[in-house]
Chains A and B, each alone.
Chain A
Amino acid sequence: GQNIDQPTEMTATEGAIVQINCTYQTSGFNGLFWYQQHAGEAPTFLSYNVLDGLEEKGRFSSFLSRSKGYSYLLLKELQMKDSASYLCAVPPRNSGYSTLTFGKGTMLLVSP
C-alpha cells in the first residue's frame, strides 16, 4: 500500500496561519489531494497538486515537492469553521489511478 503520514492533531487560534504537513512514498506518484472533513460529515475536495510548487485558492494553499515526497496545506486567517479533519490522499501504486489512499487525517482545532 501507500504509506501516508500526517500529524494526528493540531491547534491554532482564530486569525492565525497553520501549516499541515503530509509525507508519502514517492514511487508511482500521480498527484496528491487534500480533503476537508467536518465532524459527522463527508469529506469534501479542497485541492489537487500534480506539479511541484504552491497552488493558492483563497485562504487555502497547497504545496508539493515530488522529489521529497512532501506536501503541506496552508490555512490563512483561520476561522472557527476551519475546525475539521484534513485528509491527505494519493492514488496507490499500481492502481491504475482509479482509487485513492487516504492518510489518517489531521484534526485541526481552532480556538477563539
Chain B
Amino acid sequence: NAGVTQTPKFRVLKTGQSMTLLCAQDMNHEYMYWYRQDPGMGLRLIHYSVGEGTTAKGEVPDGYNVSRLKKQNFLLGLESAAPSQTSVYFCASSHLSDTRNTIYFGEGSWLTVV
C-alpha cells in the first residue's frame, strides 16, 4: 500500500533552474496539497487542489505553480528556483467523504537551491 509517493526525494538546484516535484496517491483521494516545512516556520501550505483540473493558492504560493491533470497526481513546479525555496516539501492528500478531513503525507522531498 504505497499511499502518497513523492519524487525526487533529494535534489540540488542552481539558482534560476526549473524543476517539477511529482506527487502520486493511490487512495482515490479528491484533495491534494503541497506544503513546505522550514525550521522555525512549521508546515505552510503552498497550493492545493480539491479535484482534478482545479487548483488554489495556499499561504505561500509565490514562485510555485501546480497542475492536477489526473486525480491521482499533483505536480509542483519551480520555474526559476531561488535560495529562499530551499526547504522540505511535503505532498499530502485527503478524502472528500472523510468528515474529519484527515490528511495523509508523503515522505518529503529535500530541495536545496544554491
Contact = CB atoms under 8 A, between A and B. Distances in A.
Interface of A: 1, 31, 33, 40-45, 48, 50, 87, 91, 97-105
B102 A45 contact: yes
A31 B94 CA distance: 15
Interface of B: 31, 33, 35, 40-45, 48, 50, 58-59, 90, 94, 100-108
Give the secondary structure class of B's interface.
strand
Contacts of B44: 102
A42 B106 contact: yes
Contacts of A1: 59
Nearest to A100: B103
In order of increasing CB-CB distance, the 3 nearest A-B pairs are A104-B42, A42-B105, A102-B43
A43 B90 contact: yes
Instruction: Specify the main secondary structure of chain A where it touches its partner.
Output: loop
Contact of B48 (A43, A44, A99): A99
A43 B43 contact: yes
Nearest to B106: A42
A99 B50 CA distance: 9
Contact of A91 (B58, B101, B108): B101
Contacts of A43: 43, 90, 105
A43 B91 CA distance: 11
Contacts of A50: 100
Contacts of A33: 100, 102-103
Contacts of B31: 98
Nearest to B94: A98
Contact of A44 (B35, B40, B105): B105
A45 B107 contact: no
Contacts of A45: 102-104
Contacts of A44: 105
A32 to B, nearest CB: 10
B48 to A, nearest CB: 6
